[in-house]
Amino acid sequence: MNMNGDFHGKGLWAVILGGSSGFGLATAKRLARAGLHIMVAHKDKEGVVETQIKPHFEAIRQTGVKFVAHNVNLFDDDDRAGVMESIEEQAGRGKVHLFLHSIAAGACKLLAEPKGPDFRADAIKGLQEALTFGGAAVTITQLRDAVNKAFHEKRCDALYTVADSKIPYKDDLLEEEDVSRTVWMMGYDYLLWGRELLARELLSPEARLVALTSEGNEIAWRGYAAVSAAKCALEASCRAMALEMGPYGVRSYIVQAGITDTPAGNAIPHFDLMMAQARMRNPFHRLTTPEDVAEAIYALCLPPLSWSSGSIIRVDGGEAISGL
Ligand X SMILES: NC(=O)c1ccc[n+]([C@@H]2O[C@H](COP(=O)([O-])OP(=O)(O)OC[C@H]3O[C@@H](n4cnc5c(N)ncnc54)[C@H](O)[C@@H]3O)[C@@H](O)[C@H]2O)c1
Q: Which residues bind ligand X (CB under 6 A)?
A: 18-24, 41-44, 73-75, 102-105, 186, 212, 214, 257, 259-260, 262-265
CB of 10 to ligand X, least distance (A): 26
What is the helix (H) or strand (E) element at residue 181, kind and residue range?
helix 176-183
Separation of alpha carbons 322 and 95, rounded Å: 40
Separation of alpha carbons 161 and 231, rounded Å: 27
CB of 109 to ligand X, least distance (A): 15
Count of residues in the chain: 324
Decide whether 204 or 260 has the Cβ nearer to ligand X.
Answer: 260
What's phi and psi for 204, nearest 5 deg? Answer: -75, 165
CB of 115 to ligand X, least distance (A): 27
CB of 38 to ligand X, least distance (A): 13
CB of 292 to ligand X, least distance (A): 11
Decide whether 1 or 268 has the Cβ nearer to ligand X.
Answer: 268
Give the sheet arrangement for strand 96-101, strand by strand.
Answer: 67-71, 37-42, 13-17, 96-101, 203-213, 251-257, 311-315
Decide whether 194 or 265 has the Cβ nearer to ligand X.
Answer: 265
Decide whether 35 or 290 has the Cβ nearer to ligand X.
Answer: 290
Q: Are 212 and 255 in contact (CB under 8 A)?
A: yes
CB of 277 to ligand X, least distance (A): 12
Separation of alpha carbons 102 and 93, rounded Å: 23
The residue sitting closest to ligand X, measured at its beta carbon, is 22
CB of 104 to ligand X, least distance (A): 4
Residues sharing a CB contact under 8 Å with residue 40, sequence separation 6 or more, in sequence order: 15, 16, 17, 18, 19, 20, 24, 25, 28, 57, 68, 69, 70
Separation of alpha carbons 141 and 139, rounded Å: 5
Decide whether 18 or 128 has the Cβ nearer to ligand X.
Answer: 18
Comparing C-alpha atoms, which of 168, 152, 178, 274 is closest to residue 221?
274
Q: Which amino acid is at 196?
A: E
The Cβ-side half-sphere exposure at 10, using a 13 Å CA radius, reads 22
Decide whether 185 or 202 has the Cβ nearer to ligand X.
Answer: 185
Decide whether 143 or 259 has the Cβ nearer to ligand X.
Answer: 259
CB of 319 to ligand X, least distance (A): 10
Comparing C-alpha atoms, which of 31, 12, 35, 26 is closest to residue 87?
12
Decide whether 48 or 156 has the Cβ nearer to ligand X.
Answer: 48
Comparing C-alpha atoms, which of 77, 69, 74 is closest to residue 14?
69
Separation of alpha carbons 232 and 186, rounded Å: 10
CB of 217 to ligand X, least distance (A): 9
Decide whether 162 or 216 has the Cβ nearer to ligand X.
Answer: 216
